[in-house]
Amino acid sequence: SDSHFPVPISPEEVDLSQHYPRYFPADKGGDGEEAAAPRRIRFADVGCGFGGLLVGLSPLFPDTLMIGMELRDKVTEYVKERILALRAANPGQYDNISVVRTNSMKYIPNYFRKAQLTKMFFLFPDPHFKEKNHRRRVISMQLLDEYAYVMEVGGIIYTITDVEELGEWMRSCLEKHPLFETVPEEEIKADPVFKLLSTATEESQKVARNGGQTFHAIFRRISLQEE
Ligand code: SAM
């Protein structure tokens, strides 16, 4: 059930001190001293599963705040424990990653402001094969409107799957959407993040072990004249 978790009423209500205590100490330390410029979450891993991507990204972008969004309670708790253990074993590292239990299909705008995110990840999402269940896919024209809203112009959306039909579906939605354009393949290959898509997550490792093919669609948020 996805009905028993708290949802912030707006992005301002997201308690960053709970997620990134090293950057947002709960005790602001008295008056006078202005806190450092507020930092924002910049990367979102949607349906993060066991958190392998966050763990891989953390040292690559040590100054970027990232969050995983995961629907399953137990899986979310596992990722929390995993991050706490990594912080304990590696002081000063992994302070920039966190996870939240939520339904990303309903609550993205509760977590992020307009143009807040510079990267969004959709790695090996559930395929929902049946036509009548396509509306449950995490990439759709409607949801891309929401993702475009929370993404900065120039930001990148990364998708990958081992299900060819889903890969084609995600690509075709992104191609049709006026606020995204494809990232050229040579740019993709030079992007250090690209390698993580097919190596860092638990699902990607399972696919690799079984020798499965993968299909990626990586698009850039662009602006329209009206914006
Ligand atoms: N991205 C991870 C990986 O590559 O290992 C996990 C892939 S797993 C096949 C899909 C994940 O998406 C599951 O952990 C599932 O619980 C989560 N999920 C499905 N629908 C979701 C939703 N609406 N909001 C958040 N997470 C969701």
Per-residue pLDDT of the chain (227 residues; tens, 9 = 90+): 445 789 999 999 999 999 999 998 876 555 544 445 458 999 999 999 999 999 999 999 999 999 999 999 999 999 999 999 999 999 999 999 999 999 999 999 999 999 999 999 999 999 998 889 888 999 999 999 999 999 999 999 999 999 999 999 999 999 999 999 999 999 999 999 999 999 999 999 999 999 999 999 999 999 986 65
201 marked as part of a ligand binding site: yes
Query: Is 126 an annotated catalytic residue?
Result: yes
Separation of first and last alpha carbons in the chain: 38
Model ipTM value: 0.99
- Please list, in sequence order, all residues whose beta carbon lies within 8 angstroms of the beta carbon of residue 58, skipping any fewer than 6 positions away: 66, 93, 94, 96, 97
pLDDT confidence of residue 4: 78
The DSSP string of the chain is: --SSS---SSGGG--HHHH-TTTS-SS--SSSSPPPPPP-EEEEEET-TT-HHHHHHTTTSTTSEEEEEES-HHHHHHHHHHHHHHHHHSTTSSTTEEEEE--HHHHHHHH--TT-EEEEEEES-----SGGGGGGSS--HHHHHHHHHHEEEEEEEEEEES-HHHHHHHHHHHHH-TTEEEPPHHHHHH-HHHHHHTTTSHHHHHHHHTT---EEEEEEE---TT-
Instruction: Please name the residue whose Cα sits nearest to atom 14 of ligand 1.
Output: 49
Testing ligand 1's pocket by substitution, the residue of 122, 138, 166 carrying the most ligand atoms inside 8 A of its CB is 138
Structural domain boundaries of the chain?
A: 36-221
103 marked as part of a ligand binding site: yes
Q: Kindly list the protein residues whose Cβ atom lies closer than 6 A to any atom of ligand 1.
A: 47-49, 69-72, 75, 103-105, 123-126, 201-204
Fold held by 36-221: Rossmann fold (3.40.50)
Ligand 1 centroid to Cα of residue 46, in Å, is: 7
